A and B are shown apart, each in its own frame.
Chain A
Amino acid sequence: MSQVKQGKEPLLRIAKRDGISRPMAYGIRVIAVLLSLVVSGIFIFAVTKLNPIQVYEGIYDGAFGTARRSWVTIRDTMMLLCIGVGLAPAFKMKFWNIGAEGQVLMGGVLTAGIMRAYGSSLPTPVLLVLMAVMSIVAGCVWGIIPAVFKAYWNTNETLFTLMMNYVAIQITSYCVALWENPIGSNTVGVINQSTKAGWFPELFGQAYGLNVLLVLLLTVGMFLYLKYSKQGYEITVVGDSVNTARYAGISVKKVTIRTMAISGAICGLAGFIAVSGASHTISTSTAGGRGFTAIIVAWLAQFNTFVMILISLLLVFLQKGAIQIASQFNLNDYASNIITGIILFFILGSEFFINYRVILRGKKEGEAK
């Protein structure tokens, strides 16, 4: 009877899963999304007193109700996707590029500037190429600056890129004030409205055809780059363990700077697409928080660019729907941010159940599997 007194076994225990089958992992995620839709439905019901089913009909109507709405949904999905694709290599390298917002804006500002300055002197194809190149350079520079400091002095990149956002936002505000049209409006207005110089041409009879084509090309390209190229492999190794990478003879500095150059370049190009292919104007809301949302898109997709298409579509679909509901009930658009937040919280939480399993008190290890 010399038994050591034992504490009570806890009600719930957590153990790491050895592995999980793909269908089950996706099953858990789908359940999370469904749960989040239920919670969002309750929220909308509480505010509008509408039948939740009608609410979701309204959301669908807002996103895909007419051909025009569908195209706007597709256009915005492509924007979000493009930034997500740009962020994927950086995040795979575990480089916290929170600065997409600024990289997009810098690309957008240069695009708008060139469109204004050379709209009447250069033909549109030349203009488009020039704007694309310059926006890539701008995004690239904005991405490389924090990368160099990270590579050589291990400066915290999360906060550095974050601060670069606000520098970019102030530069944009400056340019908006500089290019104000009409004076006193505090906006740039639609650039080259009459000549449409520097605007994306219609492709396949669709105004946003070129946006879709460009972004899908980038999506496929990035998927192949990350999965099959040597550079993509180097990114994976640096992301998993910097020490292993050094040991294997990979120059971590070079990979860091190169990857951020690519990441910034694509985000800059996203700014070009946003200005030249969609809004034809520039303001501090050209990026509109997508730089932050795209981080979550890239992270949740685990850097698989094809999964990113689905996640971007889901988020934009709900945003458009929420905007529709909001305008129907005289509420404001920010309802969409609440719904986005709820969905993301649920998906983030669901990752736990994919990586760990919960064991009830009294159950044996084997039974809980």
Chain B
Amino acid sequence: MTSAQIIQLLQSAVCFGTVIMFGAIGEILTEKSGNLNLGVPGIMYLGGIAGLAASFFYELNNPAPNKVVCLLLSFLAAFLASALGGLLYSFLTITLRANQNVTGLTLTIFGGGVANFFGGGLNTMAGGVGQISVAATSSVYRANLNNVTNFGVFGKLFLSYGFMAYLAIVVAVAMAWFLNRTRTGLNLRAVGENPATADAAGINVTRYKYLATCVGAGISGMGGLYYTMDYIKGTWANDGTIESLGWLAVALVIFATWRSMNAIWGSYLFGLLFWVYLIIPGLGRKDIELFKMLPYLVTIVVLVAISLRKKRENQPPASLGLAYFREER
């Protein structure tokens, strides 16, 4: 085990963690409104493919793409597409009162279908050959300070990531501040704990649920965008990785006990657990598969521990998963 290996492990953990941190923070916002959205993998898929498709068409039609436009286009497209996924979920579960779990799972199937369909076929449909690739946009996402400065180990560990890795932390901190320190955030939590009481206090339950779910979905979708643009360098892979990462993001919400500050270190810990096989010498290919089980096993342990300890502040929002219908009180 050399220091280079350890640095590589830590870097991989941060990149891996950033994907699921976005997913988890969006889902925390959604769940705080009482909506258990199991569509996170589907939403991350939608965000990933929308960002990729937007910059793909832009780069296709402009031989010399402007990097700022690349960034804005892909970023906006990813956020909008994911928020639209959230809107679809909200309309079905809030307005039409469909079951949240079933709607979420359907969204995952649908989002995965859309993303893999266009991800695999977009280049062929546009008349190209082989895999989709957006080199220019990806380079913007992967630009980092470590390449222009020289701080040695410090630079490698803290400056070697694209801007979205830092954005994830900023969003997590902002989310914690929003949920704990602002009136709107407290109102939102009231909606998630007891919508009837919130309604009686004059809070527009429907509006809060819609907004929280759509914005939450938009943030979750950023995880997909980071994955396609930075993690796999502006290409597409039909290997279902986003789906398994999406479920890990759902798991991370529990691991973090619905607190976005915990999601920061939790996501890096998941990343470490996932990549820990890199530093263990003498592992065969089959042993690696067993090691990749670790994040899921740890989540199970945490899940059991939370339910055993029954601490009130660690419990999920009280009305999580339930539809609210004013006349049914």
Chain A interface residues toward B at CB < 8 A: 15-16, 47, 96, 98, 149, 153-156, 158-160, 162-167, 169-171, 173-174, 177-178, 289, 292-293, 295-296, 299-300, 330-332, 334-342, 344-345, 348-349, 351-352, 355-356
Contact = CB atoms under 8 A, between A and B. Distances in A.
B293 A170 contact: yes
B173 interface: no
Nearest to B328: A16
B113 A170 contact: no
A167 B113 CA distance: 24
A253 to B, nearest CB: 14
A164 B114 contact: no
B1 interface: no
B108 interface: yes
B97 A341 contact: no
B110 A342 contact: yes
Interface stretch (B215-223, B226-234, B265-273, B302-310): B302-310
Contacts of A335: 113, 117
Contacts of A331: 117, 121, 124-125
Interface of B: 36, 38, 88, 92, 95-99, 101-103, 105-117, 120-121, 124-125, 238, 244, 247, 250-251, 254, 284-287, 289-290, 292-293, 296-297, 299-300, 303-304, 307-308, 316, 327-328
Contacts of A178: 286
Query: Chain B interface mostly helix, strand, loop or mixed?
Result: helix
A352 B290 contact: no
Contact of A330 (B106, B109, B124): B124
Nearest to B327: A16
A296 B96 contact: no
25 contacts: A149-B304, A154-B307, A155-B303, A156-B254, A162-B251, A163-B303, A167-B293, A170-B292, A174-B286, A292-B105, A296-B106, A299-B99, A331-B121, A332-B120, A334-B114, A337-B112, A340-B109, A340-B113, A341-B106, A341-B109, A344-B110, A345-B88, A345-B106, A348-B98, A348-B103
Contact of A292 (B98, B108, B299, B328): B108
A166 B294 CA distance: 10
Given A334-B114, A352-B95, 18 more contacts: A155-B307, A160-B303, A163-B303, A165-B247, A166-B247, A169-B244, A170-B292, A178-B286, A296-B102, A296-B105, A299-B99, A331-B121, A332-B121, A334-B112, A334-B115, A341-B111, A341-B114, A348-B102
A7 to B, nearest CB: 14
A352 to B, nearest CB: 4
B113 A334 contact: yes
Nearest to A342: B110
Given A156-B254, A173-B289, A296-B105, A163 B110 contact: no
Query: Chain A interface mostly helix, strand, loop or mixed?
Result: helix
B192 to A, nearest CB: 16
Contact of A352 (B98, B102, B247, B286): B98
A177 B238 CA distance: 20
B303 A337 contact: no
B121 A156 contact: no
Contacts of B38: 98, 158
A163 B300 CA distance: 7
Contacts of B286: 173-174, 177-178
A355 B36 CA distance: 22
Nearest to B111: A341
Given A162-B250, A331-B117, A153 B105 contact: no
Contact of A153 (B117, B285, B308): B308
Q: Which 9 A-B pairs have the closest CB atoms?
A: A341-B110, A337-B113, A177-B286, A352-B96, A173-B289, A338-B113, A334-B116, A334-B117, A170-B293
A150 to B, nearest CB: 9
A329 B317 CA distance: 47
A292 B113 CA distance: 14
A201 B300 CA distance: 40
Nearest to B301: A163
A341 B117 CA distance: 13
A166 B111 CA distance: 20
Given A163-B296, A299-B102, A348 B303 contact: no
Contacts of A342: 110
Nearest to A154: B307
Nearest to B113: A337
A164 B300 contact: yes
A349 B116 contact: no
A155 B309 CA distance: 11
A340 B105 CA distance: 12
Contact of B251 (A153, A159, A355): A159
Contacts of A177: 284-286, 289
Nearest to B108: A292
B92 A332 contact: no
Contacts of B297: 163, 167
